[in-house]
Structure 1
Amino acid sequence: MNIFDIKQKNRDKIYFYIRKKKMATKQDIAYDLQLSLPTVTQNLEYLVEQGMIGAECKVANKAGGRNPVAYSYISDAKVAIGLDITRHHIKSIIVDLDGNVIKYIYKRQNYRRDDEYLKLLGEAVEEIIESVKLNRSKILGVSIAVPGLVNHEEGYVIQGRVIDNDGMSCEEFSKYISYPTRLIHDSYASGFSEIWMSTEIHNAFYFSLCDSVGGCVLLNDNVYLGDGLYSGEVGHLNLIPDGGQCYCGQKGCLDVYCNAEVLSSHTDCDLNLFFSKLEQGDEEMQKVWDQYLEHLAMAVTDIRMLFGCTVILGGYVGAHMKAYMPLLCEKVDARGPFGESSKSFLIPCENEIESVATGAALFFVDEFLNDISKEVL
């Protein structure tokens, strides 16, 4: 490495050291990273100037004398915005560099493929920024999560029959958004939020149970996109030969039997009401739920056989699953060919609220943290 590369590497090491410790003195940094005090001092001054760390705190000097300054990590030095677009709503969220939610706004809005709807997306971004008086220089970008198969490299929807966004590009969705943008498959966003927040899980299959069924293959803490853009599309596995009609044109797809509307259709499209009635012992809801779990168990068994890894139940239904895991595990165990306990690999999602919007925003955060020298320093 040349001198410039060494300087940037040292700066990165110092920043991530403070991020991990949350607070540290220059003496601690120099000792633990084996850097000279002048090198540490120079880089700390730069990081403070950039607003990436703070230097207001002081810690007691146990040996006596002047108290040394402790430099603190600023989690909202940079932020990212995520949009979750579905048939009936627009959800927007702001997250900081630790993935903490700064602000969330839900808006009931039917999707339309027209310019007026695109203006609404721009207004949603502006509304959430203004709601917290956000310093715009902190914004890394806006990620837009949509249902449909997305070519992430070229930034457009290659198949979007769920909400009629087929062929739409990132440029179209971001027409009225004045920040860097990216387009993301909604299931990939949800799955990424789970793996990003976890310190223990590095490989998993995220099973997204929303108004449509999707999935996400997570490999070494990253989303595996595959070669044909169909990675994780379990919603179109043939669950019941010649079964119910799927929106894709085929019959018997998993989506027909495990999407969230299979449940909410019994309670006037209110999924929370379905689970409320289920908890109250409603016999009709119990029958619907038992049949749903049978189909879900079939799907989980197939996914486990395919990937042999942790299976995370997410999406709208996954957010309600914790109380019902013993029953589902019982059904999965009855189908398992090798006698293993599904409790060892089947878990409900941790991110129960707005995982799509959060995960979308985290793509910008992750990119920033992985390439911090290029982006800021």
Structure 2
Amino acid sequence: MIRLYQSGDEAGINALYEKVFGKKRSLAEWQWKFGTFPESATIVVSEEDGQINGHAAFLKLTARKQGNELTLGERVDIMVDPDFQGRGIYKQIVSRMMQECEAEGLDILYGFPAETAKQVFMKVAGGKDLGNVPRFLAVNKPGALLAAKVGKLKKIQAPLDKAFSVSVPKRSTHQLRPLGDRLSVAEMLYGRFENQYPLHAKRSGGYIQRRFLDHPTKDYQVYTLEQNGYAEGYCVLHEETKDNGVTFATIVDLFGPNDEAVIADQLKAIRRHTQADALNCWAVPDSPRYRALKKAGFFHINSPMPFVIKDFTGTGSYDELTDWHLSQSDVDSY
């Protein structure tokens, strides 16, 4: 039976999630993803003999472009129990999800699916592949990365880091200051600069609170980027130490003037501020951020994330990757 979510399904959904993806997810994390973070969520499940064996969902968010608002849906957690594959369940839940998208008046459904899921989405939902989003890397402490790969180098890690410290920017005109309870400042910054960007998720103070500050397990650091005591942007960082001991900082979000020189200086300030061994960040090709990352000492290392959409507006106005402003914040798992 294909149906919409009912209260109490979350335990079965999480059990399916663990079976399919091999990762545990607490009920608090489920509640954040489908209740706290999005403006609303629509969940389709397949159930047989009281067991949930299929799941597809989208998270509703408001997007803006030049003052105009659109309703987006992020497709998430499309999964079928391995023991029930080959029965057409995937197609059924995706088809029902698409019906719900239209019924709820979605303008665009988007996602970052794996290759196999992408092909199914394209076929069943009539989606369009806009290309892969580039990922950039900057190395602040190369000794740490080398030592993680070659254990014998650990003894000379500190001298290596010192020798290569010249690659870390020494100057920037921006400084990082913890946002704290100044959500109104972030709201003000969004209002100042939103019209400089192509289509993007609306970054209100409420969005920052729900997306980052209310997350039950991840510790996000939110900073304003300031010049002479005045906020000129904000950034969201998340640091994670891998099993090999290397600490990576992800620039989950960065918002301010959509100006190449300004963004480059802000990125340099972030590199100077963090104690992480390396940093990574996304950027849409040919955007000011894409060019600024190169100026700030980042390197384009790969483009691992495909970006697909189903545009219900029929205008064709959002059919190119350059029509979008994307950050890792647009993927709920970052």
* Structure 1 length-normalised TM: 0.24
Structure whose alpha-carbon radius of gyration is higher:
1
* Structure 2 length-normalised TM: 0.26
More strand by share: 2
More helix by share: 1
Structure with more relative contact order (C-alpha pairs < 8 Å, separation 6 or more): 2
